[in-house]
Amino acid sequence: MSQQDVQQATSPNNASSPVKAERGRDVIMEVRNITLRFGGVVAIKDVSFDIREGEVRAIIGPNGAGKSSMLNVINGFYHPQEGEVWFHGEKRKAMKPHEIARQGIARTFQNIALFKGMTTLDNIMTGRLTKMNKNILWQTIWAGPAEREELEHREFVEHVIDFLEIQHIRKTPVGRLPYGLQKRVELGRALAAEPKLLLLDEPMAGMNVEEKEDMSRFILDVNEEFGTTIALIEHDMGVVMDISDRVVVLDYGQKIGDGTPDEVRSNQAVIDAYLGVSHD
């Protein structure tokens, strides 16, 4: 990234709204002194930060900084060698990812992870899995008469479909959809779980400008209208500064910045990290 890119990404036009910055005072997620190693590689080193209710929280940093690893710690995919994860005031015990999903944490993936042969509607229905008994899920998708519980789930899913403006593709197999719409369906599937905390792993990756604008709008709408707390990893700095309330910055596995977009954009360590300035 060039000096100009850093300055553009940190221009005042991208300032987040003061109204949003005021929101979300209660901490719902906290990582404390997390250290994660893969053999001899230290992916995360003694990192602590929190996520407050109702905010959009970004985790940024150069390639290899430890962002995905941190998302996987929050999500329960990785168990750190040191440190603690707290969710809703409780220290998390060792849990499987599906148990964590039942606690109200949902995520999307960097590489879309949808059932490509299934329709938009059925993919989003699978997002209800944590809310329904498995038999009902499979009846809903494959056969079976509509039951009351199924109808309630279907109703919520239809609400998500309307909200994301994807009614026109509800019966289309997702493998046939353009990339930007597949990303939207994936967001829909995560929303169908009615998460308290939604984790987005590079939601704009591979998108053109228009698709990025659409996705930014949907993320903010989800945050505003569903009241969902969102933590995201994103490489596009302009987008990050636009939609986030607070940003944590990692570099070589360590936290080098944490604050509002304004605070982060004027942090010299952050600017140096993005410009590749060496630090001992």
Ligand X SMILES: Nc1ncnc2c1ncn2[C@@H]1O[C@H](COP(=O)(O)OP(=O)(O)OP(=O)(O)O)[C@@H](O)[C@H]1O
* Binding interface with ligand X (CB under 6 A): 38, 41, 43, 61, 63-69
Phi and psi at 143, nearest 5°, equal -155, -125
Tokens of 88: 């809703």
Q: Which of 232, 186, 236 lies closest to 207 in space, CA to CA?
A: 236
**Count of other CB atoms within 10 angstroms of residue 31:** 23
Q: Whose Cβ is closer to ligand X: residue 44's or residue 181's?
A: 44
d(CA 180, CA 120): 13
CA atoms within 13 A on the CB side of 216: 19
d(CA 40, CA 61): 21
- Token pair 């899995």 is at which residue? 129
Q: Whose Cβ is closer to ligand X: residue 136's or residue 249's?
A: 249
Bridge partners (DSSP) listed for residue 259: 247
Q: Whose Cβ is closer to ligand X: residue 174's or residue 248's?
A: 248
d(CA 229, CA 147): 31
**Count of other CB atoms within 10 angstroms of residue 221:** 12
Phi and psi at 274, nearest 5°, equal -75, -25
Q: Whose Cβ is closer to ligand X: residue 236's or residue 245's?
A: 236
Instruction: Give the shortest CB-67-to-ligand X separation in angstroms.
Output: 4
Angle ∠(42,45,50) on CA atoms, nearest 5: 135
d(CA 190, CA 9): 28
